[in-house]
Amino acid sequence: MNTAIDQAQGAICFVGERNRDLFELQLGRRLPKALIVRNPHAALGMAPLPWPEPTAADAGAEPLRMAFVGRQEPIAKGQDIMFQVLAQPQWRERNWTLTLYGGGAGTEGVKAMAQMLGISDRLSFVPSYSSIQQVWGNAHVLVMASRYEGLPLALAEAMTLGRPAVVTDVADCAILLRDGIDGFVATSPTVSAYAEAMERLWERRSELPQMGANAAQRAREFLPQDPVQTAAEAIIAAIPSR
């Protein structure tokens, strides 16, 4: 059958390898013209940030300062998964904070969820912020319990700036981030799997500065330094000459 895909003159572009693979599987055919193009992110060209210093409020007991960056939309971003892990008894006994950067239609529901689970006092919500340096100058680790993604810009930015992450094995998250080296990967977007990854984060929290350095190096090796030019050149090369 002759389809629009067959008639396409040029490339069919995806932002992640696993997005391409899933589309091909659901379509039931390979796409020889498929290209992977990485989205530009806000940390392009930036050097890794220094590891955060303890704040005056820490008073000798520095908490693990976690950050989530993205829209408040649990069906995609999995805040419900993350919150259920942090509401577990062992996490109630630990010294941590979580700042959620970003807004969205689900914000009030996410706040209500945290209130119901009894962790609101550990959370801060920042619907808008001036720069990613503001985020990662203070936070130790990115936490994302996504149910689906492409390759998250927040992950690319955090790693580029020298911060490890805890992610789920969806789309290209675990292609960019190496488990146990640049952070931790939950095997699935479920409470039990994310809890296991978060336990490893806590057990190895003294190694986070080195993991952040690993993450910055990995991002520079894996991601194009000029993704727009890289994508443009690949797309132009895929267009048949006339």
Per-residue pLDDT tens digits for 175-218: 999 999 999 999 999 999 999 999 999 999 999 999 999 999 99
CATH architecture for segment(s) 60-222: 3-Layer(aba) Sandwich (3.40)
Most confidently predicted of 5-14, 30-39, 120-129:
120-129
Q: How far apart are CA 167 and CA 189, in angstroms?
A: 9
Q: Is the pLDDT of residue 237 over 60?
A: yes
User: pLDDT grade, residue 79 (50/70/90)?
Assistant: very high
Higher pLDDT, 150 or 119: 119
Q: Considering the chain, what percentage of its residues have pLDDT values greater than 70?
A: 94
SS3 state of residue 66? strand
List, in order, residues 6 or more apart from 32 with CB less than 8 Å away.
none
- What are 142's strand-pairing partners? 67, 165
Q: Cα dist. 111→76, 91, 107, 145, 221 in Å?
A: 16, 18, 6, 16, 38
User: pLDDT grade, residue 241 (50/70/90)?
Assistant: low
Mean pLDDT of 229-236: 80
- What are 13's strand-pairing partners? 35
Give the H or E element holding residue 216.
helix 208-222
Both tokens of residue 27? Answer: 């379509």
Q: What is the pLDDT of residue 1?
A: 45
Q: How many CB atoms lie within 10 A of CB 63?
A: 16
Q: Cβ(143)–Cβ(163) under 8 Å?
A: no
Q: Is the pLDDT of residue 34 over 70?
A: yes
First to last CA, the chain: 25
Q: What is the pLDDT of residue 54?
A: 83
Q: Considering the chain, what percentage of its residues have pLDDT values greater than 90?
A: 75
- What are 167's strand-pairing partners? 185
Q: Cβ(224)–Cβ(66) under 8 Å?
A: no
Q: Is the pLDDT of residue 95 over 50?
A: yes
Please state the domain extents for the chain: 4-38+224-238, 60-222
Q: Cα dist. 187→21, 41, 91, 153, 210 in Å?
A: 18, 25, 20, 20, 23
Mean pLDDT of 59-86: 94
Higher pLDDT, 150 or 202: 202
Q: How far apart are CA 42 and CA 26, in angstroms?
A: 32
Q: What is the pLDDT of residue 110?
A: 98
Q: What backbone torsions phi and psi does residue 123 show, to the nearest 5 degrees?
A: -105, 145
Q: Cβ(102)–Cβ(69) under 8 Å?
A: yes
Output DSSP code: residue 31: -
